[in-house]
Amino acid sequence: MLPADCSRRLVAELRDALDACAERQRQLERSLRVSRRLLRTWEPAETPAPQPTPAPETSGEAPSPESTPSSQDLKELELLTQALEKAVRVRKGISKTGERHKALSLKSGSAATSATTASAPSRPSGQASCRVSETKPPRGIQQTVVPARGLPESRLLSVGDRTHMGRGSRATKPGPGPRDQQIPPSAALQAPEAFTLKEKGADVDCWLPQPLWKPCSGLEGGSPQSAASLSTGFPDRILLRLPMAYRKAASRNSRLWAQLSSAQTSDSMDAAATAKTQFLQKMQMTSGGPGSGLSAAAVEAEVGLLRTACLLLRRRMEEVLSADPADCMQEYRCLLTLEGLQAITEQCLHRLQELRAAVVGRQLGPWPVGRRPGASLPCGGGTDPLWSPQLLLYSSTQELQTLEALRLRLAMLDQQIHLEKVLMAELLPLVGTQGPHWLALCRAVHSLLCEGGERFLTVLRDEPAD
């Protein structure tokens, strides 16, 4: 048994660690729930959680008779998207009056396709966007891209186009039809070019997530209706779009952040900065104490840093000492390294004395409750304010997973190092004093301190053979 106060402290530390971990887990599960919910409408066949979907969404979730799509389909979908994006760029040249042309042409297009299963793609005439046909999405996609019942009728139309086309032949010119409808809103020119959701619960996005595909037979009947609805609500019905209020707020937000960060670099900031430093100095002088401006937090953090520094310096020294210099050059470098390490160590010691002087001289106050004493590797600068977040671009899910795994590992190592220090401080003295069950204690302490609690050593009594 461990002494009471020691037990209390250690148990408290470990429970803190467990709580921190549990908090992370809770937040992660919250995010997981949200993400799963969002994906459920796109991949009903894939989600493991068989929760009943709320009413507004059922219309959008016709379970497809097809199974989940293959990665090939996904790839083809991506290629289609790229083609459509190219189309957008082409379309940027089109004037705004082209809207009406589009409306007419789509109507005619839909009428055409509903009447026929011809392989000829519905091609609105007089559209400059016919140029788009040069973008050729892969063929295979034609057969698989179908909407579900609950999709916007406009999308039904576009897919209907393609499906109709696809059934007849392998002609792969879906360009004009879906192009009108599936344009990334980033073109941001005219309303029709943005995406918007057509009906409630049909929260699909710019291209069709796969499980909503169905054989196109159900479409033929729907086409006339789609034509009708198209003619009524064309400009703002076809496309997928974030709510207007949101977009306005978001653009205003980013404008303001940009204004804020540009204000940082103007000349008036220098004057403000000097005024600030002068004010701080005056405060310091009138406070009656010399002070170094350090806070207890900063001192503690630096001491921790110096401890880490000591460990790393020692490690480097051992590396150098154990290496066998092969020639003069290497010997010289070893020598220089050792001397350099010595110089750095002296700097660290000096800094430590300074910190000590600061602490003693200023009688820094007690630690505020609940604050972390300091990380083992804290970030260097706190001066850069947290502006509108930077972008972090990742290219694949594996990359993202590696990144997150590394972050978690760093947090875990941080925690482990802290626990190690705490355990060392508490348990080593106990081993030093021999008491009852000393061997068991020794074994347990060795496992906790030296193996992270994962492995145990064995102790044998060395009985002399009689």
Return the number of the residue (45 or 428) whose C-beta is nearest other proteins.
Answer: 428
Q: Which x/- pattern over 321-360 shows residues binding other proteins (rule: CB under 8 A)? A: x-------x-xxxxxxxxxxxx-xxx-xx--x--xx--x-
Return the number of the residue (12 or 45) whose C-beta is nearest other proteins.
Answer: 12
CA distance 307 to 310: 5
For the chain, how big is the Rg over CA atoms in Å?
34
Nearest approach, Cβ of residue 119 and other proteins (Å):
28
Where is 356: in which H helix or E strand?
helix 328-362
Nearest approach, Cβ of residue 268 and other proteins (Å):
9
Check binding of 460 to other proteins (CB under 8 A): yes
Check binding of 283 to other proteins (CB under 8 A): yes
User: Using CB under 8 A, which residues numbered 39 to 98 contact other proteins?
Assistant: 39, 41-43, 54, 56-57, 74, 78, 81, 84-85
CA distance 198 to 237: 6
Closest CA to 301 of 369, 371, 359, 378: 378
Which range, of 135-143, 156-164, 221-229, 313-321, touches other proteins by CB under 8 A?
A: 313-321
Where is 15: in which H helix or E strand?
helix 4-40
CA distance 349 to 107: 81
Per-residue DSSP letter, 465: P
Q: Which amino acid is at 209?
A: P
Return the number of the residue (73 or 112) whose C-beta is nearest other proteins.
Answer: 73
Return the number of the residue (117 or 376) whose C-beta is nearest other proteins.
Answer: 376
Region at 452 (left for phi over 0; alpha for psi -120 to 50; beta for the rest): left
Return the number of the residue (115 or 321) whose C-beta is nearest other proteins.
Answer: 321
Check binding of 134 to other proteins (CB under 8 A): no
Nearest approach, Cβ of residue 266 and other proteins (Å):
13
Q: How many alpha carbons lie under 13 Å from residue 95 in its C-beta half-sphere? A: 3
**Mapping DSSP to helix (H, G, I), strand (E, B) and coil, where does residue 254 land?**
helix
Which range, of 106-114, 119-127, 134-142, 368-376, touches other proteins by CB under 8 A?
A: 368-376
Number of chain residues interacting with other proteins (CB under 8 A): 216
Check binding of 370 to other proteins (CB under 8 A): yes
Q: Which x/- pattern over 177-216 shows residues binding other proteins (rule: CB under 8 A)? A: -----x-xxx-x-----xx-x-xxxxx-xxx-x-------
Return the number of the residue (245 or 326) whose C-beta is nearest other proteins.
Answer: 245
Nearest approach, Cβ of residue 176 and other proteins (Å):
18
Which range, of 63-71, 97-105, 141-149, 430-438, touches other proteins by CB under 8 A?
A: 430-438
CA distance 183 to 84: 6
Check binding of 465 to other proteins (CB under 8 A): no
Return the number of the residue (171 or 449) whose C-beta is nearest other proteins.
Answer: 449
**Mapping DSSP to helix (H, G, I), strand (E, B) and coil, where does residue 195 land?**
strand
Q: What are phi and psi of 195, to 5 degrees?
A: -100, 145
CA distance 408 to 63: 37
Which range, of 62-70, 117-125, 126-134, 316-324, touches other proteins by CB under 8 A?
A: 316-324
User: Using CB under 8 A, which residues numbered 6 to 35 contact other proteins?
Assistant: 7-25, 27-29, 31-32, 34-35
Check binding of 380 to other proteins (CB under 8 A): yes
Among 326, 397, 465, 466, binds other proteins (CB under 8 A): 397
Among 390, 436, 465, 466, binds other proteins (CB under 8 A): 390
Question: Is the distance from CB of 239 to CB of 181 less than 8 angstroms?
Answer: yes
Count of residues making up the chain: 466
Question: Is the distance from CB of 63 to CB of 45 less than 8 angstroms?
Answer: yes
CA distance 403 to 14: 27
Which range, of 113-121, 135-143, 211-219, 386-394, touches other proteins by CB under 8 A?
A: 386-394
Buried b / exposed e over 200-222, threshold 16 CB at 10 Å, is ebbbbebbbbbbbbbebeebeeb
